[in-house]
Structure 1
């Protein structure tokens, strides 16, 4: 390797590399990438991160150079077309409208990334390595191929072939390893069948040859680094099965020093802090960025269920103003929360099953009820149930009886004890970040 005069060799990597991270999706998809970027920057690398427009200020406020790509993911499901997706009960119409929304997001992402990396006058040049989150990995892998540079992906769940957990949450969990592995091969083949046209159209924009197989086949063939950013204790035996090919490093999170700059509801909000500390620990209820068809009706379900089991509730939900509910003093609404500051003061958590929220709740030692809406959320619900730290259901059709039963289950002493014990065995976030960045550095320098 030729080392320029501005670079210094440390072990098997060099400081001063230009590394671009690309993370797309919701807050839970972005924050681990920012945590890795901050550590790479602390180690002397030139780091930039590409994120949806609504997270640029978040990333820059934490100290990273950030560029907007794609659509505003906080409002993409608030468009008239997206609202039709939520309203219709016709599966074909729902699929068609959702596909149109997703295509618009990919088109915006592709255009922004081409301008950023390989347009006639790219914003960023001389890049040594690209690091991708899971939601844009096919695209970022193509850009790395186009530029002839290193590629790594960071994943938030075990979503590739293995014998421990199958491709259908709750169904393939207890099947023999060979069946679990086969389920992933089938899932991979089906995914490639439905996405190959769109991916190869994108590759043609970069003057790349059509892909010859699924992304996972290509990553395995090329020996690409696939960092697993979740805790191995949640999937016993998986770390041993995958070894160094897919290292499981733990859940990444922001360092305490960076969290001090967050302008979110925590100790910096006297009203919330007073409400938290002057009463019994509440149950935190959040559905993240998952679109809710009728927030008013869902709020009513939450209030009645919480009242029936005698708990206070701290609710984060789009469209509600911060502060206590005038009609229900045991209910407090917040638009955004610093989980690290708030969750240790809660008794339990009910959420949508996003990887980031699942990690935050488990790290705080909270028994958990997952109300999954889609994507990978059902996997986390299945694992929470298997580990006896909570229960799971579907967000669609959630009613007072189901929520009440779930609250009663997670508020038992047994669930609380299991959650506290699990939290004690999770890899500390700073250790997880350090492990992940060690691997990303080696990949970038290879």
Structure 2
């Protein structure tokens, strides 16, 4: 079967889908991934055919406007920013998604491409499956991610109202561009939200995050929204994409030379003043008497010329989390689902310093589940970070997170997703 998977977003959006693509290809399917231009090489290194699809989101986030939107920590403002970028890129994006899907017998979309893929699948008369990285459909257990303070526990009617608001906002922001696409495809205009369109077509929506992170949600949804857990790459693919390249010996030697360090990293979220954040980490580490492993990520921090204390290890190159995290004491990061999965499955108490989108929701869940703490990045100070991190460094916290880790689905998730996709087509 010819399967097209149009994607856009950051590496965190593409990485888990590569694992699924590799598994589908192993089963004999012809898989084509559409990926942001800066990630095409990453996909092809995994052995999957790929072609450019969508804008370079890393470039958008790193721009002055993107930095201001991220610094504000406001999901609606970021949605407007993406909408503005879409206005500049919409026609090209439409063409690219059409080209990725042109010969498909099945389209597998993601949270951020399902709206376009829905119209293309309709025009082509082929089935569609959507993959969701976080809860993005109306329910009464949780509000729309990022719309309300993460520590709130709103009643069911309020939760549902946030979904109505967010779905209508998304419809208003993107409908113009979707109807341009529908015109290109010879389809009539639609005024339905993506959620309504997929529900009407009974499109399977596979939840590629762990149900343990959202207690009670699976019970609210029917079999159209099954959970797989986070999709991981097999060893061969990890080696091929460079995830296991190089030696971890030097880093492990530093870790083993003293007490287990706390990991600090912010993944694909560009930090506007990385030097100030690093100084904050240094102050907190000194106050708590801990060692710190700091990953510079996308920041502009000059690793080579940054002077660090003996208790600090600053790195820029990527490393395999599952090789390093089990040797750490705790983790502090932005709350992207991939990094969150890795820190929790390693049994690390986790402080989520959320930036936007679904990250505040994951931060709230970490706190409510008793496996960590949540601090919006916009409110981050040395004092607040120290207050959040200090109680997570005791033995009881580590035991609690280790117990939670045993409830996570840590193997066979890509295979399960592939089974669900094949079953949906049948």
Q: Tell me, what secondary structure is at the counterpart of 2:51? A: strand
Whole-Å separation in 2 of the counterparts to 1:73 and 1:36:
22
Shift of the 142–268 alpha-carbon distance from structure 1 to 2, 3 Å rule, reads: farther
Question: What is the aligned residue count?
Answer: 421
Q: Is the counterpart of residue 350 in structure 1 residue 332 in structure 2? A: yes
Partner of 2:163: 184
**Deviation of 1:89 (Å):** 11
CA contact (8 A) 1:71 1:108 kept: no
Partner of 2:351: 369
Shift of the 162–76 alpha-carbon distance from structure 1 to 2, 3 Å rule, reads: same
Q: Tell me, what secondary structure is at the counterpart of 1:273? A: helix
Q: Is the counterpart of residue 288 in structure 1 residue 267 in structure 2? A: yes
Partner of 2:114: 137
Q: Tell me, what secondary structure is at the counterpart of 1:153? A: strand
Q: 1:312 aligns with which of 291, 308, 329?
A: 291
Query: TM-score, normalised to structure 1's length?
Result: 0.86
Whole-Å separation in 2 of the counterparts to 1:147 and 1:94:
32
Unaligned runs of 5+ in 1: 1-16, 119-124
CA contact (8 A) 1:77 1:291 kept: yes
- 1:299-351 C-alpha deviation (Å, 9 max, x unpaired): 11111112211222222222346679543232222332322222222211111
Q: Is the counterpart of residue 393 in structure 1 residue 375 in structure 2? A: yes
Q: CA RMSD in A?
A: 2.8
CA contact (8 A) 2:275 2:301 kept: no
Q: Is the counterpart of residue 26 in structure 1 residue 32 in structure 2? A: no
Q: Tell me, what secondary structure is at the counterpart of 2:58? A: coil
CA contact (8 A) 1:267 1:341 kept: no
Query: TM-score, normalised to structure 2's length?
Result: 0.90
Q: Is the counterpart of residue 68 in structure 1 residue 45 in structure 2? A: no
Partner of 2:34: 50
Whole-Å separation in 2 of the counterparts to 1:128 and 1:105:
27
Whole-Å separation in 2 of the counterparts to 1:69 and 1:92:
24
Partner of 2:384: 402
Alignment of 1:194-213 (within 5 A): 194-213=173-192
- 1:137-167 C-alpha deviation (Å, 9 max, x unpaired): 2112222222221111110111211122122
Partner of 2:221: 242
Shift of the 250–56 alpha-carbon distance from structure 1 to 2, 3 Å rule, reads: same
- 1:268-306 C-alpha deviation (Å, 9 max, x unpaired): 244323223323221111112212221111111111112
Q: Tell me, what secondary structure is at the counterpart of 2:311? A: strand
Q: Is the counterpart of residue 435 in structure 1 residue 419 in structure 2? A: no
Unaligned runs of 5+ in 2: none
**Deviation of 1:106 (Å):** 4.1
Partner of 2:321: 339
Shift of the 350–221 alpha-carbon distance from structure 1 to 2, 3 Å rule, reads: same
CA contact (8 A) 1:350 1:371 kept: yes
Shift of the 83–163 alpha-carbon distance from structure 1 to 2, 3 Å rule, reads: closer
Shift of the 415–203 alpha-carbon distance from structure 1 to 2, 3 Å rule, reads: farther
CA contact (8 A) 1:362 1:419 kept: yes
Q: 1:415 aligns with which of 394, 397, 422?
A: 397
Partner of 2:137: 160
Q: Is the counterpart of residue 330 in structure 1 residue 311 in structure 2? A: yes
CA contact (8 A) 2:101 2:107 kept: no
Shift of the 261–322 alpha-carbon distance from structure 1 to 2, 3 Å rule, reads: farther
Which sits farther off after the overlay, 397-406 or 177-186? 177-186
Shift of the 363–165 alpha-carbon distance from structure 1 to 2, 3 Å rule, reads: same
Q: 2:258 aligns with which of 268, 272, 279?
A: 279
Shift of the 98–185 alpha-carbon distance from structure 1 to 2, 3 Å rule, reads: closer
Whole-Å separation in 2 of the counterparts to 1:107 and 1:409:
51
Which sits farther off after the overlay, 202-211 or 169-178? 169-178
Shift of the 86–387 alpha-carbon distance from structure 1 to 2, 3 Å rule, reads: closer
Q: 2:206 aligns with which of 227, 241, 253?
A: 227
Shift of the 402–87 alpha-carbon distance from structure 1 to 2, 3 Å rule, reads: closer
Q: Tell me, what secondary structure is at the counterpart of 2:33? A: strand
**Deviation of 1:440 (Å):** 0.9
